[in-house]
Amino acid sequence: MKHVAAFFDIDGTLYRDSLMVEHFKKLIKYQIIDPSHWYTHAQKTFLEWDKRQADYDEYLLELADVYVSSLKGIDIDTVNFTSNQVIDLKSERVYRYTRSRIKYHIEQGHIVIFISGSPDFLVSRMAKKYGVTDYIGSSYIFENNIFTGKVIPMWDSDNKDMAIKDFIKKYDIDLNLSYAYGDTNGDVSMLRNVANPVAINPSNELLRAIKSDPYLYEKTKIIIERKDVIYNIKPDVDVLSES
């Protein structure tokens, strides 16, 4: 008998920000990396997004480059200590809708899988926190317990597509009964793969992809969570852009 699965992105889908950004800030707080890495590079990108003057997907990719270069040379014990701090302090800062869906799928006996672009050492801890079946994150390569600066990414659509195919074989998953939850264009392949795609607070780029894809346009449920209200809207909502 094949299994029903639910695939979840984390940053922006479950967690209400970016675990990578939280870890970046924690490394600065403990004076493990030079604060200038943030103030010279990352802060400008962050502020542009915060003022809604930058594309969300581009913001995360640019920030990831700064984060990876800043982390290079850090030892695994330091990474583990600061990662534990992030999860202990921030792991419950999540969307109510997504948290309830994870609980629902677990109660139904579904295979629940996190597929996230965040570092694997953070994704593994979130997976344990929420009791999910399995997970995969961006793989950060350590040699002699020191981060090399090399990453096998999991933040793009192609890699997430390959990850889903591996999980299908591992758990004998029936995609015609399965679910996926995402918020950016990197999650498009997850949404296309399943019968029940859900976009949570989708980025402009993801919303455009949904509107231009007949399958996603017909199937995707769009959830907007603001304050203590959860909205279910149609994918033909207007996408606003500055001229």
Give the domains, in start order, of the chain with CATH numbers.
5-233 (3.40.50.1000)
Give the pTM: 0.91
Q: Which two tokens stand for residue 152?
A: 């096998």
User: Radius of gyration over alpha carbons of the chain, in Å?
Assistant: 18
Predicted confidence (pLDDT) per residue in 99-129, tens digit:
999 999 999 999 999 999 999 999 999 999 9
β-strand pairing of 5-8 with 179-182: parallel
Q: Which two tokens stand for residue 206?
A: 């993801």
Q: Which two tokens stand for residue 69?
A: 């270069």
- CB count within 10 Å of CB 239 equals 12
Q: Which residue has the tokens 């995969």?
A: 136
Q: Which of 167, 155, 148 is closest to 5 using CA atoms? A: 167
Please give the pLDDT value at position 204.
86
DSSP 67-117: HHHHHTT-BHHHHHHHHHHHHHHHTT-B-HHHHHHHHHHHHTT-EEEEEEE
- pLDDT lower than 50: segments of the chain: 242-243
Please give the pLDDT value at position 243.
38
The set of residues, in sequence order, having a beta carbon less than 8 Å from that of 39 and lying 6+ positions away, is none
Predicted confidence (pLDDT) per residue in 52-73, tens digit:
666 666 777 777 888 898 899 9
Q: Alpha-carbon distance 37 to 205, whole Å?
A: 28
Instruction: Assign residue 238 a region (left: φ > 0; alpha: ψ between -120 and 50; beta: otherwise).
Output: beta
Beta bridge partners of 94: 15
Per the CB < 8 A criterion, the answer to whether 11 and 118 are in contact is: yes
